[in-house]
A = this chain, B = another copy of it.
Amino acid sequence: MKASQTIISTLRDAPNDAVIASHQLMMRAGLIRKLGNGLYSYMPIGLRAFRKVENIIRQELDNVGMLEMKPTVIQPGEIWKESGRWDKMGAEMLKPQNRGGQDMVVSPTAEEAFTALVRDSLTSYKQLPFTLYQINTKYRDEIRPRYGVMRGREFTMMDAYSFDRDQASLDESYEKAAVAYRAAFKRMGLSTISVKADTGAMGGSGSEEFMVESEVGDDTLILCPGCKYAANVEKASCKPDVALGADGKPQVATDKAVEEIPTPDVKTIEQLTEFLKTTPQAFIKTLIYRVENAGVDLGKEKKFVAVCIRGDLDVNEAKLCALLKASEVELAEEADVIRITDAPVGFAGPVKMTKASVICDNSVMTMHDAVTGGLKKDIHFIHVEPGRDFTPLMTADVRTVQPGDICPECGGTFYSKKGNELGHIFKLGDKYTKSMNVTYLDENGKLSTPIMGCYGIGVDRTLASIIEGHHDDNGICWPMSVAPYQIAVVPVKYDGVMKETADKLYDELTKLGLEVLLDDRNERPGVKFKDMDLLGIPLRIVVGEKNLPNVEMKLRTASDAELVPATDAAERAAAIVQKALAELNA
């Protein structure tokens, strides 16, 4: 492609709303343009990179036997009512009515559509298993779309759905998806971290997120340097540790009975630690939580629980939510705390707590001779022995794991990173096939229900993440596999012998099957070099009169250029491109 025949529309400055590198560079390089809030259009050069990402994903899914199809983007609302998600999806789902007043949906995901289509085609066990996928437009009405295509309202998602007879078969389908994901991300130069995700709210029996490290990541990852342990903080577990006394030794059981002590004006654990001359580990911290739609019986106070944890630790609400099979948990309002604890905020404790059930983090059960709130203003209990002085409804791991905690797998010391989710794989079970009544006849002629897995990769977000990981001060540094063009041929002036040499080189490179952008624009060389750097073309060949019969070859990521005879340049360039692709495919 000659530069004069495509649209190169670079900007010196990124717009003000672009605060992360990928958004800034995609705007500055003219790869995308904004059409509305959270609505980005891919311009011709941007679309080339986008299609490469899309095709790499497609190829790797095809390689493991997944089948591409194409449902409609606009879907009948009735299938969303069948599955029960019509109401649950909330304002994120765009729900136009058609001219007949029928409810429609602009697809935010497609479990329902695939399930409905399979329902019409599936009759026999002989057809199973299969995994269907699409790479198609989705829309989610994010409240605050931001970061350009990283979190847009309209986006392109690869979403796949597997249909299996049983758990063993689902496990295989799931593993195939994981293999395809790993291959695809690797080919695109992305180093992903595979983490176990919190699957609580969505149900299902297993899931994995493919995260990429990012300073602007939405997720916090807990990682072990010693083994492959990696988990979203919402689900991470650490090795249980024994509660220590002020002397640094394990706490020792006491025979003394619980005793009230006055603690005037002492509200925080910090104040209490000072007041009692001990460490936070001596305290049982108790938090009153409001619980929405709990899936387990919470006793008298159906909507509230008292959650106890060792004083130096924090409760992880995602884990608590999963434990209680709830749709949401949040700290109780002050009025509810006062009602439930008969005291102002700051004096809750499990001893003599009668109004709400007590949930204990595992950390509490190794504590002895502990301190806790006295359910009265300015009163604490001391000499508290868990088990003896109170009995929890449940004891479980609801602790927020932190850097410095110990890996349960290998004993390594955890560290933490911010990450963005690029893809996920998820065992759905029969959630949709049951609610939408999908059946098949098994070998014995018996009606059975298949089980599903679902799998997703955000195409736009993957593209943006590649840029996040591959750029410098001058612009994008595309990995060869996803570069919009592999080679830029830049004549210092597109005229005379430089034009001849550049044209010849362009023809030779194109004939070798390479993707070349010839900068034939009538611009100063500096402008052209800057634009090619900003666009991130991996290999640049400069044709300047003073160097002829040599030309200058430079990798985007190299600091120095190399002089090469113009007659050898095409073959040399081809070799460089092939080597780079081979390394990504290896």
Contacts and interface: CB of A to CB of B under 8 A. Distances in A.
Interface of A: 5-7, 9, 30, 33, 35-37, 39-44, 46-47, 50, 65, 67-76, 78-79, 91-92, 94-96, 98-99, 104, 106, 113, 116-117, 120-121, 126-127, 130, 132, 136-137, 139, 141, 143, 153-154, 522
A159 to B, nearest CB: 14
Nearest to A76: B36
A76 B35 contact: yes
A74 B9 contact: no
B74 A33 contact: no
Contacts of A71: 35, 41
A50 B74 contact: no
Number of copies: 2
Contacts of A35: 71-72, 75-76, 79, 113, 116-117
Contacts of A68: 44, 47
Contact of A75 (B39, B69, B92, B117): B39
Given A5-B65, A37-B76, 5 more contacts: A35-B75, A35-B116, A43-B117, A74-B154, A98-B141
Contacts of A94: 74, 96, 98, 104
Counting from the closest, the 6 A-B pairs by CB-CB distance are A96-B96, A36-B76, A41-B71, A44-B67, A42-B70, A9-B121
A75 B36 contact: yes
Nearest to A36: B76
Given A44-B132, A91-B99, A153-B74, A33 B141 contact: no
A141 B95 contact: no
Contacts of A76: 35-37, 39
A238 B113 CA distance: 52
B7 A127 contact: yes
A511 to B, nearest CB: 17
Given A6-B67, A7-B121, A35-B113, A141 B72 contact: no
Contact of A99 (B47, B126, B143): B143
A33 B117 contact: yes
Nearest to A77: B36
21 contacts: A7-B67, A7-B121, A30-B121, A33-B121, A35-B117, A36-B75, A37-B76, A39-B72, A39-B75, A39-B76, A41-B70, A42-B69, A43-B121, A44-B132, A73-B73, A73-B154, A74-B94, A74-B154, A95-B96, A96-B106, A126-B522
Contact of A47 (B65, B69, B141): B69
Contacts of A70: 41-42, 47, 50
Contacts of A42: 69-70
A43 B69 contact: yes
Given A75-B39, A76-B39, A130 B99 contact: no
A290 to B, nearest CB: 25
* Residue with the greatest number of chain B CB neighbours at <10 A, chosen from A36, A39, A65, A153: A36
Nearest to A152: B72
A522 B40 CA distance: 49
A74 to B, nearest CB: 5
A130 B94 CA distance: 34
Nearest to A62: B1
A111 to B, nearest CB: 13
Contacts of A136: 137
A403 B228 CA distance: 79
A55 to B, nearest CB: 12
A74 B43 contact: no
A33 B141 CA distance: 28
Contact of A154 (B40, B72, B126): B72
Given A7-B121, A9-B121, A106-B106, A40 B96 contact: no
Contacts of A46: 69
Nearest to A120: B33
B69 A44 contact: yes
A455 to B, nearest CB: 16
A110 to B, nearest CB: 10
Contacts of A137: 72-73, 136-137
A141 B99 contact: yes
Contacts of A126: 522
* Residue with the greatest number of chain B CB neighbours at <10 A, chosen from A40, A50, A69, A91: A69
A98 B50 CA distance: 26
